[in-house]
Structure 1
């Protein structure tokens, strides 16, 4: 009997050990699943953060471009007003000149039609000639004013065209050929660089620049955002050789289009 009890105890211990082993296996499996879930959650969180940052960067860039367009329009508006005023002045003076020329011709015709001799005709001629001289003086003054106003129109047109071209060049990414700058910082995680050239130096959104170190080309970057004294540019990954990396201190140059 004791022998059977002893055997039964051994069997119970074996069964308990088996259950424990199985539970341990389940625990390890559950722990592994938990780690996998944590990893997936961390990855999803990182992707969400990346998307949020990208969205914010896009919104910031859009706001920056809107501000620049509004600034350009604000600079252009006074020039438009000046042009409109000058054109109105030219139009008014042209009408005045035409009116005086017409009146002068009329008086000359009147003088020519007066009969010769006698006190009355002589007085009429003298009065008409005096009026003609007065009108000719006014006509000369109007012509001078019209010439000045016309020059103002030409100047305002040239100024307006220069502002429009500057904005068009900026928007199109057209910069001065040969413009150079330096890489201030490089973010390998996001593949962008900070450059020491900005709006004051003529940097423009959309311009693509060559990155070099010494006499060797390292790659290319494309400007995505411009501040007064600095710019942000994305690295054109396909232009960077395998194993190479852009570094602070590298030179950037705009080759032109």
Structure 2
């Protein structure tokens, strides 16, 4: 019985010691869990902050990406324009190459023609050298021609003066042939049977043959008459039948 009690006491002691140890272990684990929780909380906060920073960075990256995309679109458009310009420049370059080739061909042709021209010039120079004496004669002829031209110039001036004098004389002669406009006279005689009348004006009043006079009486038109002969102070005129309104009378006024 005592043995049982001792064993029971030992068991109780062992259980108590085990309980204390278990309690100690639980406390130790709880403290560890508390520390782990705090660490996890700190890590969670850090991770959350990092996540927020990452989201902000992602938003900024997205905005930058959109901007970059727009710039890329513009760059592509610029690239297309540049390609077109490059194609145009290439085409222009090809044309310039063709023009250059054509110019080179023309240059070669011109060079050949220049060589031919030089050869012809050499022959011409040789010919000119052989004709130096004839050129000297030509110089003499030139001097004679210059002298003749000077004489022709003098004669030309005289000819112009003569032409001016002839023109002036022709005008004077023409003036002498015409009866001055407004010349006025009176009917001095009438012969209606022969359609003639006589005026009291003639050569002294510059009346000329074939001049036409209009006959008036009291400011009324009578007839027309054409001069057929002229004396110093009288003239005979033929009465026109067309437009004749009455027979002329002595004293009627005749106006050229």
**TM-score under structure 1 length normalisation:** 0.35
From the CA coordinates, give the structure whose radius of gyration is larger: 2
**TM-score under structure 2 length normalisation:** 0.35
